[in-house]
């Protein structure tokens, strides 16, 4: 039977503690790899890499799944343009290509959502603003002109 040196044992113990701290951080609220890296940036680089890889293998950190979950949450709770959703997820440290891939693969659903979202905003704002003011507002929010046109046509 091979014995571990005291240094190796202490190193393994530190690594376990770091993994547990990270796990608690992730379990409280799902996080992106970038968020985890930022939160634990003071830790030993090698331990940080090992811990992140370990948590990725166990699927506790999964940026692809994070994109899916985040998009679904935004779509359920808010009226946002596709561009706004993309930007909010990008701010969490997700690679742009992961976001773009998801949006591309779900283009029809995303477009349908953006049109419905634009309609909701139009209905809400039409009491106080002229049509052109509402269109300008939607353009500024990142809505595609196609979505804006369809939303206005559906309301009329």
| Whether the predicted pLDDT of 120 surpasses 60 | yes
Higher pLDDT, 16 or 34: 34
Contact 99, 90 (CB under 8 A): yes
What integer best gives the mean pLDDT of the chain? Answer: 93
Q: How confident is the model at residue 96 (pLDDT cuts 50, 70, 90)?
A: very high
Rounded to 5 degrees, what angle do the CA atoms 24, 67, 73 make?
A: 85
| Whether the predicted pLDDT of 137 surpasses 80 | yes
Rounded to 5 degrees, what angle do the CA atoms 5, 10, 13 make?
A: 125
pLDDT single digits (tens) 43-68? 989 989 999 999 999 999 999 999 99
Q: Pick from 72, 99, 101: which is nearest to 87 by CA? A: 99
Can you give the pLDDT at residue 9?
82
Contact 11, 29 (CB under 8 A): no
| Whether the predicted pLDDT of 119 surpasses 90 | yes
Can you give the pLDDT at residue 2?
62
Can you give the pLDDT at residue 136?
97
* CA 15 to chain CA mean position, Å: 28
| Whether the predicted pLDDT of 152 surpasses 80 | yes
Distances (CA, A) of 130 to 12, 15, 60, 80: 65, 60, 48, 20
Whole-number CA gyration radius for the chain: 22
């Amino acid at each position: 039977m091979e014995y571990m040196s005291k240094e190796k044992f202490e190193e393994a113990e530190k690594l376990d503690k770091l993994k547990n701290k990270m796990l608690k951080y992730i379990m409280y609220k799902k996080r992106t790899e970038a968020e985890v890296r930022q939160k634990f940036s003071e830790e030993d680089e090698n331990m940080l890499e090992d811990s992140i890889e370990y948590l990725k293998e166990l699927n506790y950190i999964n940026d692809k799944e994070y994109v899916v979950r985040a998009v679904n949450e935004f779509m359920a709770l808010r009226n946002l343009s596709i561009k706004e959703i993309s930007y909010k997820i990008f701010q969490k440290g997700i690679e742009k290509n992961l976001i773009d891939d998801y949006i591309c693969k779900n283009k029809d659903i995303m477009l349908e959502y953006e049109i419905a979202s634009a309609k909701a905003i139009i209905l809400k704002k039409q009491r106080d603003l002229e049509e052109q003011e509402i269109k300008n507002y939607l353009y500024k929010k990142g809505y595609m002109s196609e979505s804006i046109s369809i939303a206005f046509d559906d309301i009329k």
